[in-house]
Amino acid sequence: MRIWPFTSLVLLVSASTVVCGTSLEGELSVSLRDNFLEPLRSLFRQREASNVLAKFSLRRPSLPDDDVCYIVPGKEETLGNCNFNSTAKTFLVIHGWTVSGLFESWVAKMVAALYDREKDANVIVVDWLDMAQNHYIVAAENTQKVGQEVGHFIDWIEEATNIPLEKVHLIGYSLGAHVAGFAGSHTTNKVGRITGLDPAGPDFEGAHAHRRLSPDDARFVDVLHTYSRGTLGLSIGIEQPIGHVDIYPNGGSYQPGCNLRGALEKIAHFGLVAMNEAIKCEHERSVHLFIDSLLNGEELSKTYSCASSDMFERGMCLRCHRNRCNTMGYDIKKVRKARSVKMFTKTRATMPFRVHHYQLKIHFTAQTDQTQTEPTLTASLYGTSGSVENLQLKGDDKITTNKTHSYLLVTEENIGDLLMLKLKVEDSSSWSVSSLLSKAQSWWNGDTTGSEPQVKKIRIWIGETQKKLIFCLKDHQKSRTSHEATFVKCKETWRKASRRAH
């Protein structure tokens, strides 16, 4: 079932270039009115496309934001005029839907970053603005025609210059990702790679592989999903895996630093216009994650194969055996399997986006099995290069004794080799402070006569280094009356039997 009017309205806000409030509200008003007109499909069929659906601008490293030289299919002299390098890598950057008819600011940043990494490359911006600045449904329909034209352009370039297509890399954002897919499906020979940056969801979610970006469109297809979870009943980016490798940073939904909640609070005062920047932030984060991978190759974000976001959020998927790890962005390791590989990672709010992942496995013991009331756990890590304090551990809502609980802990800074860990337990129930401290004391003091849970060891797995550590309660802290306990490295090593158990 498709609810076109509301979908089109919100997408109009999310993908548009920021303009003055009055102008944008006018666009929204017109869009809302027109989207109720019947039918949009006939509007598309009646609209005559121009002879040129796309233009191909070979940008220069010194002028990444200017179109100074166009390559025209069929006119080989334009290749020489634009200094096309037939032995270098060739990138086609494909924008998404637009309202203003102007390029988004990220296009120039992407061009500059590609030239920063690949000095001799050809970076071509595919300009399909005339076909993209329509109602969303119309623009989505246009992706097939535009993709076919881009595919013919690639065929012509290959024939005219003998470039090896394994060196051709298409990078498409939002609707542009599907344009790249259609382009790849229309070339005579397969291009080397297509990167889909949060491919658009509406009109493509659940569609057959021939009607969207798919693994069949290139030798390798990688996809970044950054806004695939619905807000107000909508999903801007596609949620289903559609590549050889599909990466879901932060679960593929709400990205750090994007204040969606604040935007929703402003709707009552400013209308849907207030959602523009927040939704754009989530959707466009995919672009900036890829740019980050170009500019900060020494700080690559590691991604982890996992069956679900929930499992990853509990730190259960940080092991790299059997090629279960990869890197996010430009330097991704190419993997081709029958089924898409779903991968997850956490990021910071700003560039460089890389973080460090830790799994903490905590076993709470007691003489009798029991369930505690939703405690809040916080951990502080101290290493050879720095420390991070009071990081909340998110896992099961309740702690069950005589059971091992797994938590994911993420640090933005590299603290070096881990030397010490402090664990703090606080309960959200209505216990008195004195009662809480009394209970907390028994957690740490090793009193086996009581029934209160205890923690004697914490097992740690570090995703970035693939190191395993065991930290033991320091001196059993028998005299400690605080609800915070200190753990240091145990002298014994992690037994192989323990490793096989996981």
Pick from 439, 387, 420, 431: which is nearest to 486 by CA? 420
Q: Is 495 annotated as a binding residue?
A: no
Nearest CA-CA partner of 223 in 196, 244, 192, 252: 196
The angle formed by the CA atoms of residues 18, 22 and 25, to the nearest 5 degrees, is: 75
Instruction: Tally the residues of the chain.
Output: 502
What lies within 8 Å, CB to CB, of 117 at 6+ separation is 294, 295, 297, 330
Give the number of other Cβ atoms within 10 Å of residue 462's Cβ.
16
Bond into 352 cis (ω within 30)? yes
Percentages of the chain per state (helix, strand, coil), in multiples of 5: 35, 25, 40
- Residues 173 and 176: their CA atoms lie apart, in Å, by 5
DSSP letters, 193-231, are EEEEES-B-TTTTT--GGGS--GGGSSEEEEE-SS-S-B
Does the annotation list 217 as a binding residue? yes
- CB neighbour list of residue 301: distance below 8 Å, 6 or more residues apart: 249, 289, 292, 293, 327, 328, 329, 345, 347, 353, 354, 355
The Cα–Cα gap between 212 and 178 comes to: 5
Nearest alpha carbon to residue 272 among 13, 29, 21 = 13
Residues labelled as active-site residues: 174, 198, 283
User: What are the binding residues for Ca(2+)?
Assistant: 212, 217
User: What are the binding residues?
Assistant: 212, 217
